Structures are given as C-alpha cells and as structure tokens.
Amino acid sequence: MPEPPKKTNSPNVYNPPNRQEKQQLYTSTDKTVQSTEQNLEITKKIVKTITGLESLKTYPIRDLVKHAEDFGPYLKQQRLETNQVRKFLDAVNQMKVTLAQTNDFSKIEIEVVLLKPKLAYAAARQKAAKPMSDVMSAAIDKVRSTEDFERLVQLIESIIAYHKAEGGK
C-alpha cells in the first residue's frame, strides 16, 4: 500500500484538512454561531431591563455590574475598540466635570440627549459599536436627573472596565 502524501508547510502547496481538522472546524463554527446568538441576547436583555425602569437611578447596582460583566467581553469579541466610542466617552467625562462644578443637571441635560447622535455615528462607522450604541441609547432615554446621570456613568465605566479586563483596547 502506498504511503499517503506528506503534508508540507509550504505556502504554495494546498493541504486539504483531514477528518479531525474538519470536525474541529465545524465544532468551532457551531460554537461561534451559538456564542454569537447568546451574546446578542445580552444586548437585548440589558436594553429590556433599562427600558423597563422608571428612571436609570433605579437600575439595581448588582444587576448593572452583572450586565456589564457579561457585556464587556461581548464587546471585546465584537472587536470594539474604545477609540471607536472615544468622542462619546470624552463628552461624558466633560459632562461629569461640568456637573461637579455646577451641581446643576439642567446645565448638561441637552448634552446628555445629544450623546445619542454621537453613538449613532460611531455605530454607523463601525458595526462593533452597534451593541454599545443600543444599550447606551436606552440608558440615555432614562436620564432625567443628576442621580440618573451618575448611574449612566457607572454603567459606562463598568462596561469599559470589563471590556478592558478581557483585553479590549
């Protein structure tokens, strides 16, 4: 019986995958599809939770952290980079400073609402920013006071922290 041809690592030679490699590929693809479906659910779950709140300040902090813990790695998997939402983050940080100086929510209320177009722009430029845009837009709709804004900041900071903890840039 002749020996099967040996695989080479030459870039010019096509080496079809063997049975085990094919099985690994199919298994990996199945897991990726399943993982993507599960991760889409986390976005929907967070948005549903937020839209069900009377105001963002009533978002239970333990739920917020748990959602961020699940959502941060999902954003990493989507290859979200913080520079894709940098304008949004910079605007939030500027509002934090303004609020700390004035202690008057009305001074930043318009800017809070105008965060939504910044998110929409980031999502239009980069598909990976869409889940973040969906969640933050739902949260922004619930911001009506200083306490709501503070909860928004906690949500953003928690998501970014878990994103970075997963190795996100």
98 exposure class (CB count in 10 Å sphere: 0-12, 13-18, 19+): middle
Could you report the per-residue pLDDT of 60-73, keeping only the tens digit for each? 999 999 999 999 88
Could you report the per-residue pLDDT of 130-161, keeping only the tens digit for each? 999 999 999 999 999 999 999 999 999 999 88
Q: What is the pTM of this model?
A: 0.74
- What pLDDT does 109 receive? 95
Backbone angles phi, psi at 132, to 5 degrees: -65, -40
- What pLDDT does 32 receive? 46
Instruction: Name the more confident of 55 and 169.
Output: 55
- What pLDDT does 39 receive? 58
Could you report the per-residue pLDDT of 16-27, keeping only the tens digit for each? 677 776 666 665
8-state DSSP, 58: G
Which of 94, 131, 97 is closest to 115 using CA atoms?
94
- What pLDDT does 85 receive? 72
Could you report the per-residue pLDDT of 104-135, keeping only the tens digit for each? 999 999 999 999 998 999 899 888 889 999 99
Amino acid letter, 65:
V
pLDDT surpasses 50 at 92:
yes
- What pLDDT does 34 receive? 45
Average pLDDT of the chain, as a whole number: 83
CB 67 within 8 A of CB 48: no
pLDDT band at 31 (very low <50, low <70, confident <90, very high): very low
Retrieve residue 78's tokens: 């989507």
Retrieve residue 131's tokens: 């889940």
